[in-house]
Every structure is written in C-alpha cells, then in structure tokens.
Amino acid sequence: MSQERTAQLIEQKLSMLEPKFLRIDNESHMHSGPATDSHFKVTLVSSAFDGVRTVARHQKVYGILSDELAGPVHALSLHLHTPEEWQTDSTIPDSPACMGGSKHD
C-alpha cells in the first residue's frame, strides 16, 4: 500500500467529522524502520469537538482510525481543535524525531 493511499484513507474516514480544516502530514521520513506510511500528523478542526475534553477527542479519532492503527500506522500525532480554539491559536507543533526504539518490530 503506498503512503498516499494511507493518507487518503485517513482523510476519507475523518471526513465524517465534517472538518473545517484538515491537514495530514506524512512524517514517516523522520522515523526508523522500513515502512514509509507509518508516522502521520493530523491537524483537524471540527465542531464535533465542542465541549469534548482532549482525551476524548483523541479517543474519538483513534476509534475512527482503528483499522489503520492496527495496520500500517505506527504513530499518529493529533492536534484536534474546535473552530473557536483554532481562531485563537492555529499553530501546528512540530513532532519529535525518532530515536529508533521500535526498529526491530
């Protein structure tokens, strides 16, 4: 499966949250191991997160992407905001570089 395919699948599945903003960064190049579609960063702005605490927002997205997380996706960095929060602060933090701990997986 190509990395574009995985990113497309993520985008397709997350469309159910009716995102106001959605960006998917493939960060697999920053990490060890042979997989090129393994590490992603998702920035998503949606009204679905209104009044939902951060842990539950992440769990919602993990649930939607459970097949991908059980398969090719090894790391998923999530930055999930309500439209209101996004208006106040729309910075997307950098993800850390890999240190190789899972390279024998």
Where do contacts with other proteins occur on this chain (CB under 8 A)? Answer: 30, 54-55, 58-59, 62-63, 66, 69-70, 75-79, 93, 95-102
Shortest CA distance to 67 belongs to which of 4, 6, 3?
6
Closer CB to other proteins, 3 or 95, in the complex? 95
Least separation in angstroms between residue 82's CB and other proteins is: 14
| CB-based contact 38:3 (threshold 8 Å) | no
Closer CB to other proteins, 50 or 105, in the complex? 105
Closer CB to other proteins, 36 or 95, in the complex? 95
CA distances from 45 to 4, 82, 85, 89 (A): 22, 5, 9, 11
